[in-house]
Amino acid sequence: MTAYRAPRWLPGGHAQTIYAALFAPCAAVRYARERWATPDGDFVDVDRVAGAPLAPLVVLFHGLEGSSASHYARAFMDAISRRGWHGAVPHFRGCSGEPNRLARAYHSGDSAEIDWMLRRFRAEAGAAALFAAGVSLGGNALLKWAGERGAEALAVVSAVAAVSAPLDLMAAGEALGRGFNLVYARHFLGTLKRKSLAKLSRYPGLYDAAVLARARTLREFDDVVTAPLHGFRGTDDYWTRSSSKPLLERIAVPALIVNARNDPFLPASALPSPGEVSAAVECEFPEQGGHVGFVAGAFPGRIDWLPHRIISYFELRA
């Protein structure tokens, strides 16, 4: 697979990020949806594309407020389907278009949720290879799972890949709290606040509605909603304990990490050094690409480089 090269007509991390999400052509994907009951009495929805018998299964964990309809999910599932593989996009709680039942939602360090999902996929895959990829928030949670499980992960998946993961949540959170990055933060906050207010109507007193309404950054939102809902003392505790970066040196399963150095969500200075990852981890940090951008080709561009890179990595381990 050739290294990523940004097209000259689309320079800069912000341009790559916004163009890929809003303007780059993306193939339509026909999904089949199923609902899984969670161990704690909630549910998640899983969207699938079918492949050939005994073909590998690729599970894709989406990013913050993402879904199977996100541009990167459709690009991945289209590429997987064209290879005759099976694909699945499990939605984190509340992200499939219907509110989840419990007070809890999802978060960047939700490796326990990743674990039960992957073990269920492993049981159904049988003799076929199982691969897992994660984008942004989903990538961080997946890498955290792989680091926590160590050699045990080898019995579940053949390899994992993470794209534009906020490996250091403290650095990423601070970056999203200033400058032009506040545009992204406000975009996320729009849906996060609506969901949180709807949940508050079902669970009165869960958190302070007035403080929630005043939240202008992800740090402020996480402090009033995400952290207390999921057992953290506050934003600093949540971001520190949920970051995957300290666990990268414990990963035993083959793992690919792709992060652009101009990703506006994570400063290049926060990317791990070779000494901070295990021998099982392969890092690719191209200079360009933005946050889940990686647009390629002449105008109007394509967003197929990224899925092809990840799938080619998995093919060597199928």
Active site members: 136, 263, 291
* Helical H segments across the chain, by residue range: 13-22, 71-82, 111-125, 137-149, 169-175, 182-202, 209-214, 218-221, 227-229, 235-242, 305-315
Tokens coding 259: 């992060």
CA-to-CA distance for 103 and 166, rounded, in angstroms? 25
With beta carbons less than 8 A apart as the criterion, state whether 85 and 60 touch. no
Chain position carrying tokens 């492993």: 122
Question: Exposed, middle or buried by CB within 10 Å (0-12, 13-18, 19+), for 280?
Answer: buried
Inter-CA distances, 11 with 2, 26, 131, 180, 292, Å: 19, 20, 32, 16, 14
Tokens coding 210: 């007035």
